[in-house]
Amino acid sequence: MYDVLDSRSVLEVLRPVQDPELRKSLVEMNMIRNIKIDGGQVSFTLVLTTPACPLREFIVEDCQKAVKQLPGVTNVSVEVTAETPQQKSLPDRNGIPGVKNILAVSSGKGGVGKSTVAVNVAVALAQTGAKVGLLDADIYGPNDPTMLGLGDAEMVVRSTPKGEILEPAFNHGVKLVSMGFLIDRDQPVIWRGPMLNGVIRQFLYQVEWQELDYLIVDMPPGTGDAQLTLAQAVPMAGAVIVTTPQTVALLDARKGLRMFQQMNVPILGIVENMSYFIPPDMPDKQYDIFGSGGGSKTATELGVPLLGCVPMEISTRIGGDSGVPIVVSDPDSASAKALSAIAHAIAGKVSVAALT
């Protein structure tokens, strides 16, 4: 036991306290800073690896318990901040200046709620204080502007000595670029692969993203040109695969997952969307409309995490149509809680990968 209450003794009692996900000492990782002692009052800053840390309260509690072992301590105040780590660079990929982590949200087939998951995860991360961007890479069916309440927004194009630069639209704490800003509402995009590849690269490298902790890329369904372009262009922190419990959706989800693995993109996990239906007039009941347990079984078989299960609720659809995502419009709903938990889990896995 230490006889003196000073900065050194505070660091020593905190040394055994670990980040539960990284399994490394907070002190050794320089996550304890700005120690101040005023009589029996001890304060310091805890710098987490993501503002969306799901174990934040547990870490703070462990720190307070450790410091209170010191003689003369009457109160421990912990200020929590975060510094999201930069994803590791790759020699054959070009990163985006200022963007720390690029994540793909993808699906094997359409209609499984991939964009709903991508939009709500982006907003949930922004709610934690993270700087978040959303790239709508579904060039043929861009729905993210509507879901973010930006259906009538315009994306500004500026001419610079280095060429045209796009300024993303912004709402609910998220920066967004989308093909939906560049075409009329009813105008179809009838392009072959090279043109699609070109606009995705433009959205990656010719947008004024500035500083971002996370750039979420909402992919089109399937395993085509857009997925190949993204995986080959930028160093990716990982991919999230969205599916429903239905067998036909799971079959395609497996193919999408294997494609990212073959491209050496880490799989962050599977999200089972539309897991069950909650009737609004009977919120205590649930119905497995698309089956049950498919996401969990597939995750186990493929050796990847199940990030969470999101129920079907009418409020989710209303939020998407009205441009107010459910994590904003109804944060206490089962769907919002599930989506927020998924966002926190994704952030944790990204930080662990960057620091190990």
Mind listing the pLDDT tens digit for each residue in 310-355? 999 999 999 999 999 999 999 999 999 999 999 999 999 999 888 8
Average pLDDT over residues 7-17: 94
How many domains is the chain built from?
2
pLDDT band at 55 (very low <50, low <70, confident <90, very high): confident
CA dist 249 and 269 (Å) reads: 16
Query: Please, is 119 exposed, middle or buried when counting C-beta atoms within 10 Å of its C-beta (0-12, 13-18, 19+)?
Result: buried
Q: Would you state the pLDDT for residue 155?
A: 83
Contact (CB, 8 A) for 48 and 80: yes
Same domain? For 291 and 334 the reply is: yes
The helix/strand/coil state of 84 is coil
Q: Decide: 194 and 112 in contact? Cβ < 8 Å.
A: no
Stretch among 83-87, 156-160, 173-177 having the lowest mean pLDDT:
156-160
User: Which of the four pLDDT bands, split at 50, 70 and 90, describes residue 162?
Assistant: confident
* Dihedral sign from CA coordinates of 89, 20, 80, 172: positive
How far is residue 231 CA from its own chain's centroid?
17
| Domain range enclosing 66 | 7-82
Cβ atoms of residues 308 and 273 within 8 Å: no
Owner of token pair 């999200």: 271
User: Does residue 126 form part of some domain?
Assistant: yes
Whether residues 119 and 44 fall in one domain: no
Q: For strand 169-171 and strand 174-178, is the pairing parallel, antiparallel, or unpaired? A: antiparallel
74 and 173 inside one domain: no
Could you tell me the CATH number of the domain that includes residue 32? 3.30.300.130
Contact assessment for residue 69 and residue 1, using Cβ atoms and an 8 Å cutoff: yes
